[in-house]
């Protein structure tokens, strides 16, 4: 019985890896648990189309500072790998109280966005969202900051690195929260954490594309782009060594904020770190 279970587990791992790793890296939840207006939060839906005709769904949140006639900027928020925007949006909409707008997009298969997840597909979706955010920011003459959490942070690095020179000029800052440095690297770490898959950590990880890994894209980031990395070393999902690796390999201007407590992506749920993010954003202006 044990041998059968082991063989079944390995077969599932192989199947997920060979099918583009969508089932390993992405855990989408279809449908929406609710909408922001149910909590009294103003928003507007955003609908985009991918190059192959898939419909993507997102939300845009205006600044909630009434005494300020003009927002300070727009934050393009790339969320993590589970659930969808209906569970993620509260993670960043608090910053609208500080004068910033927020745009959050659901990748393919998340929420009511169409399609099936894959590493290449999600990166394409993130780029479609970036183009919308750049257009929105230019219309209002606002600075644009890209902020990604977890797999969204890994996606954000590669997204900005591969944007056109003109698009990169429209980006005023990049915030990377609790991200991994490489797809193969994090896969090896997860596979090595269990005796069942330890021996297969290298052969299985080699079936995953490393083309989109942040650590392979850093040399394409604009030399003068302000970078902010956040990570808790109590993170049990993605070790803080991943953010340290990314931080060490990029040039100034760069900032690294490290917590010693808090689970995965919990730093920005704490007032202390929210204040530091707001201060970093203010410095951009």
pLDDT tens for 242-282 read 999 999 999 999 999 999 999 999 999 999 999 999 999 99
In a domain, residue 139? The reply is yes
- Provide the whole-model pTM: 0.90
Output the CA torsion sign for 40, 43, 44, 50.
negative
pLDDT at residue 188 greater than cutoff 90: no
- Residue 14: what pLDDT? 43
In a domain, residue 118? The reply is yes
In a domain, residue 209? The reply is yes
Average the pLDDT over 131-143 and give the result: 98
- Residue 69: what pLDDT? 76
In a domain, residue 31? The reply is no
- Residue 189: what pLDDT? 75
User: What is the signed CA dihedral for 244, 156, 169, 100, rounded to 10 degrees?
Assistant: -100
Q: Is 196 buried (19+), middle (13-18) or exposed (0-12) by CB count in 10 A?
A: middle
Answer yes or no: are the C-beta atoms of 129 and 148 closer than 8 Å.
Answer: no
d(CA 154, CA 78) in angstroms, rounded, equals 9
Whole domain around residue 19: which residue ranges? 2-26+41-284
CA dist 106 to 74, 88, 122, 182, Å? Answer: 17, 10, 9, 22
> Which runs of consecutive H residues, i.e. helices, occur in 145-262?
151-161, 165-169, 183-192, 201-205, 241-249
Look over the chain and give the mean of its residue pLDDT values, rounded to a whole number.
89
Q: What is the tally of structural domains in the chain?
A: 1
pLDDT > 90 fraction of the chain, expressed in percent and rounded:
80
d(CA 247, CA 241) in angstroms, rounded, equals 10
- Residue 164: what pLDDT? 98
Kindly state the DSSP code that residue 251 receives in the 8-state scheme: P
In a domain, residue 33? The reply is no
In a domain, residue 146? The reply is yes
In a domain, residue 130? The reply is yes
Residue with more model confidence, 3 or 217 = 217
Query: Beta partners for 137?
Result: none
CATH number for the domain that contains residue 50: 3.40.50.1820
- Residue 30: what pLDDT? 97
In a domain, residue 269? The reply is yes
| Residues 60-116: tens digit of each pLDDT | 999 998 777 799 999 999 999 999 999 999 999 999 999 999 999 999 999 999 999
């Amino acid at each position: 019985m044990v041998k059968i279970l082991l063989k079944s587990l390995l077969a599932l791992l192989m199947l997920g890896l060979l099918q583009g790793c969508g089932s390993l890296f992405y855990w989408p939840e279809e449908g929406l648990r609710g909408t922001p207006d149910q909590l009294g939060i103003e928003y507007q839906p955003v609908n985009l189309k991918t190059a192959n005709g898939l419909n993507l769904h997102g939300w845009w949140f205006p600044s909630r500072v009434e005494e300020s006639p003009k927002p300070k900027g727009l934050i393009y928020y790339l969320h993590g790998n589970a659930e969808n925007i209906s569970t993620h949006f509260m993670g960043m909409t608090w910053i609208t109280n500080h004068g910033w707008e927020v745009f959050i997009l659901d990748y393919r298969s998340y929420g009511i966005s169409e399609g099936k997840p894959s590493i290449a597909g999600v990166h394409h979706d993130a780029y479609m969202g970036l183009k919308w955010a750049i257009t929105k920011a230019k219309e209002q003459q606002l600075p644009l900051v890209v902020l990604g959490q977890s797999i969204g942070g890994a996606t954000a690095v590669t997204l900005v690195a591969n944007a056109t020179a003109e698009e990169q000029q429209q980006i005023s800052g990049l915030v990377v929260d609790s991200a991994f440095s490489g797809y193969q690297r994090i896969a090896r770490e997860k596979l090595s954490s269990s005796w069942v898959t330890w021996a297969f950590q290298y052969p299985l990880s080699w079936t995953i594309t490393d083309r989109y890994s942040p650590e392979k894209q850093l040399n394409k980031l604009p030399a003068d782009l302000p970078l902010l990395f956040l990570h808790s070393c109590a993170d049990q999902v993605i070790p803080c060594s991943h953010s340290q690796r990314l931080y060490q390999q990029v040039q100034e201007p760069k900032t690294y904020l490290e917590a010693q407590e808090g689970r995965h992506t919990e730093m920005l749920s704490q007032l202390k770190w929210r204040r530091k993010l707001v201060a970093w954003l203010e410095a951009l202006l």
